[in-house]
Chain A
Amino acid sequence: MELRNRFSLGSLYYWLVALFLYLPILLLIVFSFNDSTNLRFPLTGFTLRWYQELFGAGELLKSLWNSIWVGLWSSLAATVLGTMAAIAINRFEFPGKNIFIGISALPLVIPSVVIGVALLILYRQVFDVELSLLTVGLGHVVINIPIVLLIVSSRLAGFPANMEEAAMDLGASFWGAQLQVILPMSLPALVAAFLTAFTTSFDEYAMSVFVVGTNATLPVYMYSQLRFPRRIPIVVALGALIMVGSVVMIFVSERLRRAGEAK
Chain B
Amino acid sequence: MEERRRLSILITPSAIFMLVLFVLPLLIMVVYTFRQGSFGPTSRIFTLAHYHDFLSDRALQGLLWRSVVQSFWISLISVCLAYPVAYHLSFQAGERKMTLLTIIIVTAWVSFLLRILAWKVLLGGSGAIASLAQSLGLSEEGMPFLIYSQEAVNLTLIYVWIPFVALPIFAGLERIDPSLHEAAYDLGCSRPEAFVRVTLPLSLPGVVAGFLFVFIPTVGEYVTPSLVGGTTGVMFGNIVRDQFVRALNWPLGSLMSLAMLIVVLIPLVIAARLFKFSDLAGL
List residues of chain A with CB under 8 Å of any chain B CB.
6-7, 10-11, 13-14, 17-18, 20-22, 24-25, 27-28, 31, 38-42, 81-82, 84-85, 87-88, 91-92, 94, 100-101, 103-107, 109-115, 117-122, 125-126, 138-139, 141-142, 145, 150, 153-154, 157, 174, 199, 203, 205-206, 210, 219, 222-223, 226, 232, 235-236, 239, 242-243, 246-247, 250-251, 254, 258
CA of A22 to CA of B122, assembled, Å: 13
The answer to whether A118 and B28 have CB atoms under 8 Å apart is: yes
What residues on A are CB-neighbors of B172 within 8 Å?
none
CB distance from A76 to the nearest CB of B (A): 13
Complex A-B, nearest 6 residue pairs according to Cβ-Cβ distance, in ascending order? A111-B220, A10-B88, A118-B25, A24-B118, A40-B131, A88-B10
The answer to whether B107 and A106 have CB atoms under 8 Å apart is: no
A88 and B104 in contact (CB under 8 A), knowing A21-B162, A113-B257, A205-B112?
A: no
A27 and B128 in contact (CB under 8 A), knowing A17-B85, A100-B11?
A: yes
Name the residue on B nearest A17 (C-beta). Answer: B85
Name the residue on B nearest A195 (C-beta). Answer: B109
What residues on A are CB-neighbors of B130 within 8 Å?
40
The answer to whether A239 and B29 have CB atoms under 8 Å apart is: no
The answer to whether B103 and A18 have CB atoms under 8 Å apart is: yes
Q: Which of B7, B25, B212 contacts A122 (CB 8 A)?
A: B25
CB distance from A230 to the nearest CB of B (A): 15
What residues on B are CB-neighbors of A236 within 8 Å?
114, 117
CA of A216 to CA of B43, assembled, Å: 29
Q: Which of B13, B107, B127 contacts A39 (CB 8 A)?
A: B127
The A-B contact count (CB < 8 A) is 244
Is B227 positioned at the interface, with any CB of A under 8 Å from its CB?
A: yes
Q: How many residues of B contact A (CB 8 A)?
A: 91
CB distance from A71 to the nearest CB of B (A): 13
Name the residue on B nearest A31 (C-beta). Answer: B121
What residues on B are CB-neighbors of A114 within 8 Å?
26, 29, 220, 257, 260-261
The answer to whether A117 and B240 have CB atoms under 8 Å apart is: yes
Name the residue on B nearest A7 (C-beta). Answer: B92
The answer to whether B131 and A27 have CB atoms under 8 Å apart is: no
CA of A257 to CA of B68, assembled, Å: 36
What residues on A are CB-neighbors of B223 within 8 Å?
205-206, 223
CB distance from B32 to the nearest CB of A (A): 6
Q: Which of A94, A121, A235 contacts B25 (CB 8 A)?
A: A121
Q: Which of B85, B106, B131, B282 contacts A13 (CB 8 A)?
A: B85
What residues on A are CB-neighbors of B148 within 8 Å?
none
A251 and B102 in contact (CB under 8 A), knowing A13-B85, A114-B260, A117-B240?
A: yes
